[in-house]
Structures are given as structure tokens and as C-alpha cells.
Amino acid sequence: MITEKAARVLESHKLCDHCLGRLFAGLGKGTNEERGKAVRFVLNMERSAKDLPPVEAPETCELCGNVFERIPELVGRMEEVAAGVEFETFLVGSRFPEEVRENEKALWGEFDIGTAEPINREFNRELGKAFGKATGKDTAKNPDVVFIVEPYSGRIELQINPIYVYGRYRKLVRGIPQTPLPDFDESVASIICRAFSSASGGKCVFKGAGREDVDVRMLGNGRPFIVEIKLPKKRKLDLDAVKGEINASGKVEVLNLRFVSPKEAEEVLTRNHRKEYLALVLVEEGVTPEEAEEAARKLRGLEIRQRTPWRVRKARADKVRVRRVHEAEARWLDGKHFELRLVTDGGLYIKELISGDKGRTKPSVSDLLGKPAWCERLDVLNILDH
């Protein structure tokens, strides 16, 4: 049946071995070219037995125009396009003219062929095998780079996939924002990204798991962050060297740098973390050790209803968030100050938890004391993963 169908096809169409074999790609093992040669060989044996002339492969295939013969040339072009880009894994995609794809589908319909494979799928596979053999690189499901090839024009587009690096940062000084802001010379993001961009030759995008205010330090185990490096020329980064460059700033320290997948990066940024804070509370009307301790005791386990703070209303949606205080400890310092160590749900604004933000946060430390209290200084001590 295969040779009968092949004979009918070849009576009216001049096909190369690739295009002939591809009609029967769903049958047996081997490459389409091998399959096409085998089908043609058996068909010609049958024709010889009937004293009919052989059906030879044409000089030019009417379907693909001998495009598979261009593979060695295209491999060379791919190597040129990727020169200077570090990668270990790749994939090949192709853009075939619509006319070729339509002609192929018409052929399948004309001869009721249900075992065929599209030309671009075979071409991608064969070009990928040839490029891998020439360069020693491997194909992968999530590759470092993707080549998009236009087989007839020879145009090649190189897509360089980003690198993702996980880490945690400590902000050791007050007065620098997490991300660039007007009137500030640098930020946590610019200090970190400068080192990554220099090492990779790519463009660095910083994403923090939450943020702290400009005047707040981030201490302890550090805040999780992801660096996405777009269009990297180098992928094998010396993360210890990058860490050393960042930490030499004296303003920002990074810990636990490691490469992660896009999926892991997304999980880091969407995970909800509890936070541990240390706040210096100012009570202008005066505060006793007993009052400070009583306020902390009442805070423990308390559910807080917090409307978007007045100071960030232009940048955040105006809504009421419900968050919980899990731990609270007070340490009295003097007649107007005490320290408050807190462990809270992520997303609770601590400055407003203390001041009450003119009634927008209920209850607040001011409410519990029965007199105005203010956050004079704040540090994030730890970001708690569990």
C-alpha cells in the first residue's frame, strides 16, 4: 500500500527523498530521507520487475526546492550569528513561506495521507542535529538560546533567553531606595544590577519580594530578590565574584546567590513572607515601662484592619487590608522612647501600625496607649519564609 501510494504521488509530483519520506513519517523508524530512499528503492524494484523505468529523485524538488541541501550553509550562518554569545543548549525554529505549507497540505489532501509530518518540523530537527554535531551543543526544552531560521532567505534571528538569579539582600544604611527614585544617586537595585550587568554583558532587571522604605534598613537574613538578566552574552557567571563586588559597596550586601528557573523565580516573588521588625517608638506625652509592656501584650495575636496609608495612596489602591501581629515585645528606653520588636504578616505597614495614620489603621499602638505614638526609626530584622 505504501509503494502504491508513493507511485501515485510520484506520477504527478517530483519529490526529493526528504519530502517523499515525510509523507510516511508516522510509519517505522529512521529519518525521513532514509524512509524516502527506501520507499523509492522498493518502488523501483517493483517497476524493474515490470520493465518500467525507475523514478529517480529530481534535480529540484517541486515541494521544498532542495531546501535540505542548504543545511550545512545555514549551520555556518548560525555559528556566525551566535559568535560571542555563551550558551550550552539551544532550539531551532523556522519560518517557511505560507505557499510551501499550503502546497504540502494540498498534497496530503490529494492523496489522503494521514501519516505525514510538516516540513518545518523535519527541517528544525535536521538543522538542529547538524548544528549540534558541528558545535557540540545540545538541544533542551528550556534552552539558553533559540535560532529562528528563514530557510530560503537565509535570515537568522537569535533569541537569547534570560538568566534568573536568586539571592537575599541586606540594606545596611538608611537613605537609599530599593529601586531608582528621583533625587537619589543610587538604589539597592542599581548597586546589585551594576555588578550583574558588568559580569554578563546583559541588561539586569531587579525584582524584590516586597520592599522597605528609603529610611529603613534591611538586616538579618536579608530580603529575597530575583535578578533577571536579559540578552546575556555570558551565562557562566562567577556568583562569588559578583557577590564580592556588590558587598564592597558597604551599603548593600547579598547572600545565597544561585541560579534558578523562571518558575522558581516567580514562586519567590509571589510567596507571602512574615516579617520581623524593630521599631523605635516615640511618645511625646511620655511612656512608662508598664505602658510599653501592656501595649506589646495587647498587640500579640491582634488582627489589624489597615486602610492604604495616606503617604502611599497615590501609588497603591485604596483598600482595607487585614493583617495579623504574631509576636510583640517591648523594651523601655527612657521617658519618651521604647523599642518594639514585632513579627507580622507581610504587607502590614509598621509606621502606621504605631501612629494609627489618623484612624486609617485600627487598632494601633497609639490606640492601645491612649496617646499619640510615632515610629522614629525602623529596621527589618528578618524575612521569615515560614
Instruction: Tell me, yes or no, whether 35 and 102 share the same domain.
Output: yes
Pair 155, 174 in one domain: no
152 lies in the same domain as 202:
no
Nearest to 369 by CA among 288, 300, 263: 288
**Where does a domain end: 248, 270, 292?**
270
For residue 169, say whether it is annotated as part of any ligand binding site: no
Q: Are the C-beta atoms of 77 and 226 separated by less than 8 Å? A: no
Write phi, then psi, for 56 (nearest 5 degrees): -80, 160
Q: Which residue has the higher pLDDT, 30 or 272?
A: 30
* Per-residue DSSP letter, 356: -
Domain termination residue (choose one: 129, 160, 191): 160
Per-residue pLDDT, 28: 87
Establish whether 213 is a catalytic residue.
yes
pLDDT at 148 over 70: yes
pTM above 0.75, yes or no: yes
Closest CA to 337 of 369, 299, 302, 300: 369
pLDDT tens-digit readout, 351-363: 999 999 999 999 9
154 and 10, same domain (yes or no)? yes
| Interatomic CA distance for residues 331 and 334, integer angstroms | 10
Question: Where residue 340 sits, what CATH number does that domain have?
Answer: 3.30.70.3190
Tens of pLDDT, residue by residue over 249-292, are 999 999 999 999 999 999 999 888 899 999 999 999 999 999 99
Domain count, the chain: 3
Question: Same structural domain for residues 129 and 51?
Answer: yes
Cα separation, 237 vs 256, whole angstroms = 14
Q: Are residues 6 and 155 in the same domain?
A: yes
Residue that finishes a domain, picked among 270, 287, 309? 270
- Out of 213, 345, 367, 379, which one is annotated catalytic? 213
Residue 261 belongs to domain with CATH number:
3.30.70.2510
Same domain flag for 127 and 61: yes
**pLDDT at residue 168 tops 90:** yes
- Note whether 217 and 356 are same-domain residues: no
Q: Which residue has the cell 523605635?
A: 280
Report the distance separating Cα 80 and Cα 82, nearest Å.
5
pLDDT digits (tens, 9 = 90+) for 213-230: 999 999 999 999 999 999
pLDDT of residue 194: 98
Task: Please say if the pLDDT value at position 385 is more than 80.
Answer: no
Residue 203 predicted with pLDDT over 60: yes
User: pLDDT, tens digit, for every residue of 363-377?
Assistant: 999 999 999 999 999
Residue 164 in marked binding region: no
Q: What is the pLDDT of residues 40-83, one digit of tens each?
A: 999 999 999 999 999 999 999 999 999 999 999 999 999 999 99
Domain ranges, residue 253: 163-270
Average pLDDT, the chain: 96
Q: What residue spans of the chain are helical by DSSP H? A: 2-12, 17-22, 32-49, 71-81, 98-110, 119-135, 188-200, 239-247, 262-270, 289-299, 350-355, 365-369
Same domain, 278 and 264: no
In terms of domains, do 136 and 177 share one? no
The verdict on 34 and 95 lying in the same domain is yes
pLDDT of residue 52: 94
Check: CB of residue 115 under 8 Å from CB of residue 25: yes
Distance (Å, rounded) from C-alpha 378 to C-alpha 268?
Answer: 24
Q: Tally Cβ neighbours within 10 Å of residue 31.
A: 17
Residue 366 shares a structural domain with residue 281: yes
Task: Give yes or no for residue 315 having a pLDDT over 80.
Answer: no
SS3 26: coil
